[in-house]
Structure 1
């Protein structure tokens, strides 16, 4: 049997299997089909790579479609939540929203990107969206952060930079240590945590992330798009420039 014939046969058998699943094959036909497909794939392994690439492209398209719809359906919760902390220019013409976790290593590295963006662009509004997904210590650290937000919102930005930028694993203890170093009273922090837990806030952010298709941190929302991962300052600045140029993150 020539290679061409084997290739055509394998392709035909595979197409038959995919397009007509109701066709009943006897044991000999199943065996022959399996042998044809196996030989074809062994001789043409690049087909598997092409299939994987096509699958990834399809998944990315589906993810982008979900994020676009999720952002469009939840604009107020994303850009106008009264519980979020805003850095930079509160009246800026472009808003960047970052979903972050205090124990996210990529978020720690991306902190420098935020700082540079805010230093260079005085017309950026930067929103911090609490999104603890890395275990109980992250949840506890974010509860302390919520207490800081309620007790001394003017110190939240410094608290955020210090805790996220530090080398220590973020936990209730390390977060309280940062807060008290900024002048907050530990007893007041613990009282606020007990009386005003941020469980509902975190739950809302989980639901929001699910609607957008966010599965990790950091994730940014710029304009009408989600930007997944620590993509670097250039990629974020490109999205910002596009929003200013055409009103969308991708022109």
Structure 2
């Protein structure tokens, strides 16, 4: 999964939180104040010694605690993200027809936030194609977010501009399977192969509508706390980052249907 700097795991901060939690767990008679003011200097030294000795004798304590804290953090992030999706369901699930695949009237809407240059997004293409060929009750929305630099911006703008000529899906597929370095000349070559007017494409790439769509998609990505591509939103029931297997996709869709 390509990293995106909206959220980030910070080991140092978690280790600090762990020390406070372990110290608190070792006070048996009464809870401590957050600032430690209930402890004498001798008591604090004793707590530090006990914690240090425990970690030396069983280092798995630290690993287990970090795993638990990470799971709790991820659970909280998922809850917050789903709350955003439910509050903004219409906006999250809406898109120009050019970015909707599968059945436009499908009962379950799956939204994919992707970068056309992301190798993991590219890896998902055949899996998504297979899924939509098997399940005809899925409305699949693709939202482009250029998070990997200027090459991503170039391809995203080109795909969105191609939508004005009815060629967004074909140009997206061509770009995401292309192995050459993206340049405007290469974009033109692929666009011409799809029967697109490259002069019009150039004019539309920097149009206010294209800029606004990119900004909207990025704002939604920030709203769900997206930290990588691809990220999938399954109805209002689940959010899954990273390249998924077909079985994982089908399981998430089944859950969204319930």
Same fold (TM over 0.5): yes
Within the candidate set 201, 221, 239, 1:226 is matched to: 239
Q: After superposition, what is the alpha-carbon deviation per residue over 1:198-243, rounded to whole angstroms, capped at 9, x for unaligned?
A: 2221111111111112111111111112121112111111122233
| Matching residue of 1:6 | none
Q: Does 1:47 align with 2:84?
A: no
Separation in structure 2 between the aligned mates of residue 241 and residue 129 of structure 1, nearest angstrom = 22
Return the offset for 1:83.
7.0
Separation in structure 2 between the aligned mates of residue 12 and residue 117 of structure 1, nearest angstrom = 50
Long gaps (5+) in structure 1:
1-10, 247-251
CA contact (8 A) 2:171 2:194 kept: yes
Q: Does 1:215 align with 2:227?
A: yes
Within the candidate set 243, 249, 252, 1:239 is matched to: 252
Count of paired positions: 232
TM-score scaled to structure 2, two decimals?
0.81
Return the offset for 1:195.
3.6
For residue 226 of structure 2, give the secondary structure of its aligned residue in structure 1: coil
Residues 196, 177 of structure 1: CA spacing in aligned structure 2 closer, same or farther, 3 A cutoff?
Answer: farther
Separation in structure 1 between the aligned mates of residue 110 and residue 181 of structure 2, nearest angstrom = 26
How do residues 58-73 of structure 1 correspond to structure 2 at under 5 angstroms?
58-73=72-87
Q: Does 1:22 align with 2:37?
A: yes
Return the offset for 1:128.
1.0
Return the offset for 1:163.
0.9
| Matching residue of 1:101 | 115
Q: After superposition, what is the alpha-carbon deviation per residue over 1:63-113, rounded to whole angstroms, capped at 9, x for unaligned?
A: 110121011011111112337611122122222211100110100100111
Residues 165, 106 of structure 1: CA spacing in aligned structure 2 closer, same or farther, 3 A cutoff?
Answer: same
Is the radius of gyration larger for structure 1 or structure 2? 1
Separation in structure 2 between the aligned mates of residue 229 and residue 61 of structure 1, nearest angstrom = 16
Q: Does 1:121 align with 2:131?
A: no
For residue 19 of structure 1, give the secondary structure of its aligned residue in structure 2: coil
Separation in structure 1 between the aligned mates of residue 191 and residue 54 of structure 2, nearest angstrom = 64
CA contact (8 A) 2:95 2:141 kept: no
